[in-house]
Structure 1
């Protein structure tokens, strides 16, 4: 296997970045802006005194969900699109390893998601300011960064699923992983209430298998200006990076054993 080189990774990731943007993914930000603006107007009619906090909740949740859709739908089809168009043969005929191919795809889509998250966060701040709502900009920016880190992990998962199954199934599995990842901490709580040792061990095993995405999700506390301590933030970021690298390694291992 050829060693990873920055120049080849840059070329692959840049192509993915440009190609994804050409597919008008940035229109997501316009849909987000319109939807959030309408939500603020509606919330103004039904909430009294808490409109700012609810608007922040809706905005941050929207950023996460829109990012999930891009990571799942685009990420789930990145590999299969190359296979179906047979362009994978041209790519692999060049001095590019399959590890570089996988990692380059991941970096390109992760960069797109980072840009989208940044733009949607900026839109949220603008709409909040226009409505003269107070908001904790610092904690929300940190939360947006961790949303991007969470989406990078989900992109790696989408590439893993796409390495051995169809685009549709890879997308569905990625979405399922998102919800299971946010539910995984509850498995530990449930396991402690189970009388059966087998069921308890099964739940603990599932907790170890599924990523604990709640470690990368601070939306509920950030709207009140609260974040975990710096050591905890660093530890959680490290957890997300390690899990992402592990998923990419497995995806590379599976993809390297496929014949085209």
Structure 2
């Protein structure tokens, strides 16, 4: 029974992977390469002494922004697209549970994001080496791994909103969670500075509810070759995985109660 379930999930994931890949997602790789090549030509003219650090930072930021855009825009439309096409009405009555359908779609998109990050990071490192820029390779690779963990979480958010609302509203809500997730620590610190117990309780509640995405943002540390201790990195990894599993569980619960 479990083997059959894994087979159905794999079929949905592989089909979703091919569908998203065909949706011009790979054009992003060409756009990223062109952006970096142009930056290599322009940065020496505007930043004569710091162009190396700026280019390292720009490359990491570009990988993050482009992959997050794919995760949000594609993730929020994964389920609604199947509903609009009425294909979900054909798949669900078959021996395919709604949980298998959600997990398969999720893993298919993660596969695309994994390929995208590997390709973008490869181009980035090749251009760094070609330009003879001294860069902390280990720190950069660790930061991209944590970027993938962040994408796992954000894709879970996008999928959760996408199963019960329109793609446009789900996109706006997901971007809101993404922005607030990166500001949640600042919001918590602001509540403590206010010296108001009500404000402090409110900010603590928001911090506990929203994902703390600053845990997974290691771009600034990677630029200077600085990373937290392995124990801290392990804690951040567990945090991202547990939060992602919780989001998927909520998405499955909502989708299982939805009528078509």
1:36-185 aligned at under 5 Å gives the runs 36-185=36-185
SS at 1:258 equivalent? coil
**How far is 1:3 from its partner?**
10
Separation (CA, whole Å) in 1 of partners of 2:224 and 2:17: 34
Separation (CA, whole Å) in 1 of partners of 2:100 and 2:65: 29
**Structure-1 residue corresponding to 2:238:** 238
Relative to the length of structure 2, the TM-score reads: 0.97
**Structure-1 residue corresponding to 2:13:** 13
**Cα deviation digits, residues 124-175 of structure 1 (max 9, x gap):** 1111112111111111011111111101111110000001110111111111
Displaced runs of 4+ in structure 1, greater than 4 A? none
Separation (CA, whole Å) in 1 of partners of 2:15 and 2:165: 23
Separation (CA, whole Å) in 1 of partners of 2:119 and 2:177: 25
Give the count of matched residue pairs. Answer: 259
SS at 2:24 equivalent? coil
Relative to the length of structure 1, the TM-score reads: 0.97
**How far is 1:52 from its partner?**
1.1
Is the Cα contact below 8 Å between 1:68 and 1:175 reproduced in 2? no
1:191-210 aligned at under 5 Å gives the runs 191-210=191-210
Separation (CA, whole Å) in 2 of partners of 1:137 and 1:102: 36
Separation (CA, whole Å) in 1 of partners of 2:258 and 2:236: 34
Is the Cα contact below 8 Å between 1:4 and 1:100 reproduced in 2? no
Separation (CA, whole Å) in 2 of partners of 1:180 and 1:89: 36
RMSD over aligned CA atoms reads: 1.3
**Cα deviation digits, residues 26-64 of structure 1 (max 9, x gap):** 110111111121122221111122111110111101111
Tell me which moved more, 142-151 or 189-198: 189-198
SS at 1:134 equivalent? coil
